[in-house]
């Protein structure tokens, strides 16, 4: 297969005043968050951005922030390990469960059933009630859902954030949920209510949308590089293997089932590293993970 790589240079650039302007008033905060979110709205519709991979990368960052707010020591590398090498019947541990919740939340189009799959401890009826709790503009709606969910289940911050991001995605007409609020909210923000929480959500969205846009630009560049080298790969099943890298944040060679054997998969990954198309993420000699 020959890929026609789009140019990441055509991605709309975030105006400098969005990132350089210091918000002095609530009106400033709301304006900047709206501007950043509007720009992200353009980015999440771009064909040259690997959208599934972008959501997966943001899910990892959201999970890392969530476990950090819980006072746990796990970081991104630990979360990747907890999930990448799971076998049937294995437990990923508490931090791994948080990561799986975020992963499941971004995998399927927005629906109550998809949320129930991501948050199996919640009944679909309860999920629907919480999603209806937010009112007004998108960020106000997300803040309302977050406040209601935290009031009912104050210890389940991950579920509350997943629901709030879902409410935001619904309000914006997005088919999938990109994790945003968890990236920008501080631990102390979870105790706020009313106008204070709404302003905290505006600030969080402004920061997270800016970060997500930068991540999208970087992933578009890396995806273009992988597509450029794809015709040089002669291994049988290489097209399917390349597609895996364009959809997953971290890939174990054993996940490349289209290749002939685990040994062939390891050679394939090492070849991609040599070509500058993927990176080895762990620094280990064994149980390695790769990603663009």
Answer whether residue 279 shows pLDDT above 60.
yes
pLDDT confidence band for 29 (50 / 70 / 90):
confident
pLDDT of 13 reads 72
Comparing 10-24, 148-162, 206-220, 224-238, the range with the smallest average pLDDT is 10-24
Task: Report the mean per-residue pLDDT for the chain.
Answer: 92
Q: What is the mean pLDDT of residues 102-118?
A: 96
pLDDT of 9 reads 54
Answer whether residue 101 shows pLDDT above 80.
yes
pLDDT of 20 reads 65
Q: What is the mean pLDDT of residues 137-165?
A: 97
Answer whether residue 111 shows pLDDT above 80.
yes
pLDDT confidence band for 195 (50 / 70 / 90):
very high
As given in the structure block, the two tokens for residue 19 are 């990132």
pLDDT of 15 reads 72
């Amino acid at each position: 297969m020959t890929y026609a790589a789009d140019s990441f240079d055509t991605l709309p650039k975030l105006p400098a005043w969005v990132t350089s302007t210091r918000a002095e008033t609530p009106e400033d905060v709301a304006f900047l968050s709206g501007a950043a979110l509007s720009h992200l709205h353009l980015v999440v519709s771009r064909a040259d951005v690997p959208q599934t991979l972008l959501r997966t990368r943001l899910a990892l960052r959201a999970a890392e922030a969530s476990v950090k707010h819980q006072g746990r020591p796990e970081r991104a590398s630990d979360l990747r390990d907890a999930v990448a090498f799971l076998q049937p019947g294995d437990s990923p541990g508490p931090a791994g469960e948080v990561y799986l919740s975020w992963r499941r939340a971004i995998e399927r189009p927005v629906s109550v059933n998809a949320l129930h799959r991501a948050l199996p401890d919640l009944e679909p009826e309860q999920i629907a009630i919480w999603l209806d709790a937010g009112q007004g503009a998108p960020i106000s709606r997300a803040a309302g859902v977050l406040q209601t969910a935290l009031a009912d289940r104050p210890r389940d911050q991950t579920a509350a954030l997943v629901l709030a991001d879902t409410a935001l995605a619904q309000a914006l007409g997005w088919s999938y949920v990109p994790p945003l609020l968890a990236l920008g909210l501080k631990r102390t923000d979870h105790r706020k209510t009313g106008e204070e929480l709404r302003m905290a959500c505006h600030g969080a969205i402004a920061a997270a949308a800016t970060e997500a846009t930068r991540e999208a630009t970087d992933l578009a560049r890396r995806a273009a590089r992988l597509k450029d080298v794809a015709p040089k790969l002669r291994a049988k099943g290489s097209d399917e293997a390349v597609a895996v890298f364009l959809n997953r944040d971290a890939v174990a060679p054993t996940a490349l089932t289209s290749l002939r054997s685990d040994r062939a998969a390891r050679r394939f990954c090492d070849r991609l590293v040599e070509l500058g198309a993927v990176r080895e993420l762990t620094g280990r000699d064994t149980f390695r993970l790769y990603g663009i």
